């Protein structure tokens, strides 16, 4: 049997695309390789959101070149956001690559593979969105985790934040038809999935292009499917997160008490330069509503430090928000100019060393806040979905998205159980089963 190996960079959309590609390869009779050295097909699913992932991809390609010397018949393909943006450049830099395809051409993998196997360069990067891109939805995913699954509900993004490459690599917003989404959820549940994770670059914009359905209505519809025990969604945009959605989150028992709501910056001046479409006050009002309707909600966010024009005073506004909201988790990045975006034309104002120090200080502050939030769980009973067994311990997630490690003599994989939290670590929790189970 032929074997495949897929290396994935970037966000949940890329992870889901890789799971679909694995599904396509499975349908062609391939099985997963333990590592890339024994693979007949190697796919590198790339990200281009910052310069660092770009570089990581290019250095990974260097590694994969070695396999061509060992196994000249192995087919190497590059796809994802960097391929969409700079596929031809990649081919020039790494001529040993056999296949390059864009973010909306994934369903053509079977034909591309045939072409490459015949010894030709198989390249398909179209600038426009492939008219038949939803063909991809027909393939089942191959997932590491049996009990939780991503479901794409919307592709692309219309927001045009001035720093962001996504509208250029993933195109405009296209919502999937609600019937198709519900059908996929139904199949997943029949396959043993308990937690449905709805994904998209901007899920809160779901339905705007369809006109007859809203995001919160989709939440109710998914919750109505028998067997859906938990619902999550990523990523929401603060501008589109309305009170109807927040109410639905509070009202639907399966929607987990967790939300990732990127703020990016605390200063109104910088938010405007980023074209985020909200002020700090408007953002904080949404957080207030979330905490009012869902008092035990856990929150996370994304921050960019060092955007062009950001002064120390602007940066302190971000710090102020972090202290006020007390996020459970913060993903903070140094601003990275992306080719072709409006911000790339703006003048960088701070020295890189200064921005690095700001970023470090911010991360250190947040470490303490995250630890404090985790300690609030000690001695509490929490509901956990047991996802995997690792090094003799079970690992699960709370509804608030915290990882919990615990021991048991019973096989509890896939179960939703109650655990008492015995210890909080900085990035995870440790738990104990209720007496009667052990």
Least distance to ligand SF4, CB of residue 10, Å:
3
Give the integer Cα–Cα distance in Å for 264 and 277: 12
Site for ligand SF4 in 69-108 (CB under 6 A): 80-81
Q: State which of residues 15, 49, 298, 429 lies at the interface with ligand 5AD (CB under 6 A).
A: 49
Write out the two tokens for 89. Answer: 């450049």
The yes or no reply on residue 10 touching ligand SF4 (CB under 6 A) is yes
Question: Is residue 19 within the footprint of ligand 5AD (CB under 6 A)?
Answer: no
Per CB under 6 A, does 48 bind ligand SF4? yes
CA distance 394 to 386: 7
| Residue 200 binds ligand SF4 (CB under 6 A) | no
Nearest in space to 165 (alpha carbons), one of 52, 17, 7: 52
> How far apart, in Å, do the first and last CA atoms of the chain sit?
43
Residue 242 has phi, psi (to 5 degrees) of -100, 175
Which residue's CB is nearer to ligand 5AD, number 77 or number 238? 238
**DSSP 8-state symbol, 73:** T
Nearest approach, Cβ of residue 82 and ligand SF4 (Å): 8
Residue with tokens 């996802």: 387
Whether the CB-CB separation of 432 and 393 falls below 8 Å is answered with no
Question: Does residue number 154 form part of the binding site for ligand 5AD (CB under 6 A)?
Answer: no
When the beta carbons of 225 and 348 are compared against ligand 5AD, the nearer one is 348
Could you say whether residue 341 binds ligand SF4 (CB under 6 A)?
no
Other CB atoms within 10 Å distance of the CB of residue 52? 13
- The correct pick among 15, 74, 203, 304 for binding ligand 5AD (CB under 6 A) is 304
CA atoms within 13 A on the CB side of 180: 14
Q: How many residues bind ligand SF4 (CB under 6 A)?
A: 13
Residue 338 makes contact with ligand 5AD by CB under 6 A: yes
Residue 21 touches ligand SF4, criterion: CB under 6 A: no
Residue found by looking up tokens 């509208």 in the block:
167
292's torsion region: left (phi>0), alpha (psi -120 to 50) or beta?
alpha
* Interface with ligand 5AD (CB under 6 A), residue from 103, 234, 264, 374: 264
Chain contacts with ligand 5AD (rule: CB under 6 A) = 49-50, 163-164, 262, 264, 302, 304, 333, 335-336, 338
Chain contacts with ligand SF4 (rule: CB under 6 A) = 10-11, 13-14, 47-49, 80-81, 165-166, 169-170
């Amino acid at each position: 049997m032929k074997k495949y190996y897929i290396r994935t960079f970037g966000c949940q959309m890329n992870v889901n695309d890789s799971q679909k590609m694995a599904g396509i390869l499975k349908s062609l009779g391939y099985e997963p390789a333990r590592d890339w050295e024994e693979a007949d097909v190697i796919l590198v699913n790339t990200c281009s959101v910052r310069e660092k992932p770009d570089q990581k991809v290019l250095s990974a390609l260097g590694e994969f070149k070695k396999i061509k010397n060992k196994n000249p018949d192995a087919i190497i393909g590059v796809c994802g956001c960097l391929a969409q943006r700079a596929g031809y450049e990649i081919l020039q830099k790494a001529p040993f690559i056999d296949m390059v395809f864009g973010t909306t051409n994934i369903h053509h993998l079977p034909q591309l593979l045939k072409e490459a196997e015949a010894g030709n360069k198989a390249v398909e990067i179209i600038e426009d969105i492939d008219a038949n891109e939803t063909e991809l939805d027909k393939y089942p995913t191959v997932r590491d985790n049996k009990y939780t699954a991503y479901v794409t509900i919307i592709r692309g993004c219309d927001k045009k934040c001035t720093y962001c490459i996504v509208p250029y690599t993933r195109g405009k917003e296209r919502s999937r038809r609600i019937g198709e989404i519900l059908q996929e959820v139904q199949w997943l549940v029949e396959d043993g999935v308990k937690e449905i994770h709805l994904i998209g670059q901007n899920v809160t914009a779901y339905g705007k292009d369809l006109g007859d359905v809203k995001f919160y209505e989709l939440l109710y519809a998914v919750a109505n499917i028998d067997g859906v025990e938990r619902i999550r969604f990523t990523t929401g945009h603060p501008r589109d997160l309305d009170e109807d959605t927040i109410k639905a989150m509070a009202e639907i028992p399966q929607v987990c008490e967790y939300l990732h709501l990127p703020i990016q910056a605390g200063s109104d001046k910088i938010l405007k330069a980023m074209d985020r479409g909200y002020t700090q006050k408007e953002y904080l009002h949404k957080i207030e509503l979330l905490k009012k309707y869902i008092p035990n909600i856990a929150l996370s966010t994304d921050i960019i430090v060092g955007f062009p024009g950001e002064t120390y005073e602007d940066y302190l506004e971000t710090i102020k928000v972090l202290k006020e909201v007390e996020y459970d988790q913060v993903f903070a990045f140094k601003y990275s100019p992306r080719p072709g975006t409006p911000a790339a034309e703006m003048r960088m104002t701070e020295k890189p060393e200064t921005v690095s120090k700001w970023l470090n200080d911010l991360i250190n502050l947040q470490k303490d806040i995250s630890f404090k939030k985790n300690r609030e769980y000690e001695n509490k009973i929490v509901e956990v979905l047991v996802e995997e067994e690792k090094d003799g311990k079970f690992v699960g997630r709370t509804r608030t998205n915290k990882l919990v490690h615990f021991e048991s003599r019973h096989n509890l994989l896939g179960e939703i159980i109650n655990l008492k939290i015995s210890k909080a670590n900085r990035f995870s929790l440790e738990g104990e089963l209720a007496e009667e189970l052990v």
